[in-house]
Amino acid sequence: MDKSTVTKLISDDGIRCDGRKVDEIRPIKFQLGVLKNTDGSAYVEWGRTKILVGVMGPRESHPKHLALADRARIDAFYRMASFSVEEWKSPAPSRREVELSKVIREALQPAVFVEYFPRTSIDIFIEVLQADGSTRCASISAASLALVDAGIPMRDLVSSIAVGKVEGKLVLDVQDKEDKAGESDMPMAYMPTKNAVTLLQMDGQITYEEFQQSMEMLKKGCLEVYKKQREAIESHFKVVEPASEEA
């Protein structure tokens, strides 16, 4: 292939293919309470990624032999719609969907007071409607809000974002093109007020110095996501005071 025909993902002055700087996140919009037949729900538009989350529970655990005597059992079910990606996806669950279901559950569980609800289950259903990278991070962040909407006590919100290495440069909030062409991908889930990491994964290779820089970028990005989560909560639960009658 002629190198002149290859499109660079990052320009010489550090601008990415979608116009962002290397440390800039995509536009994010959260909304709570979008589903009627769930105990809690949330929707997120994260750049071009669109995800819907529904939460059921705490409710009696079924089958009963899976119930935990001292706490609630959390299950996550991550699914990508067949039309969510450019190449039509089989509706059958893939290995990646099963893996991400487990990853999302483990990222959220430390934030939930599961000990308050013994012998119950909390089910988190995640439907990716449109995928353009970072679906795991967007799912974790939206699922955290769906748990809030369900009224489930939590130690903190869980905010998530990823850093990738693209064309030798670290970039925050990886989108699909960058993910596919990148040299590394490092998603993190984080409880900001607790300063606690609940998920940290790594795919690819980076130096120790790049790892330290990535952690700084991840925390910065998670705090930006957290701010947007809080704004969505405040908007959803906003109480409008009645106008006072004039004497």
* Three-class secondary structure of residue 173 per DSSP: coil
Residue 242's pLDDT band (cuts 50, 70, 90):
low
Distance CA 176, CA 49 (A): 9
pLDDT more than 90, % of the chain: 82
Q: Which amino acid is at 232?
A: A
Which domains, ranges and CATH numbers included, belong to the chain? Answer: 21-235 (3.30.230.70)
What's the pLDDT score for residue 43? 98
DSSP 8: P
Distance CA 114, CA 152 (A): 9
Instruction: Return the closest-CA partner of residue 111 out of 78, 153, 151.
Output: 153
Cβ atoms of 186 and 200 closer than 8 Å: yes
Is pLDDT at 2 greater than 70 in this prediction?
no
The predicted-structure confidence for 116-133, as pLDDT tens digits, reads as follows 999 999 999 999 999 999
The predicted-structure confidence for 48-68, as pLDDT tens digits, reads as follows 999 999 999 999 988 888 899
Point out which residues pair with 172 in neighbouring strands: 163
The predicted-structure confidence for 179-204, as pLDDT tens digits, reads as follows 888 899 999 999 999 999 999 999 99
Q: Calculate helix-pair angle for 95-108, 135-149, nearest 10 degrees.
A: 50
Distance CA 178, CA 48 (A): 14
The whole-chain average pLDDT of the chain stands at: 92
For residue 60 the two structure tokens come to 């009696």
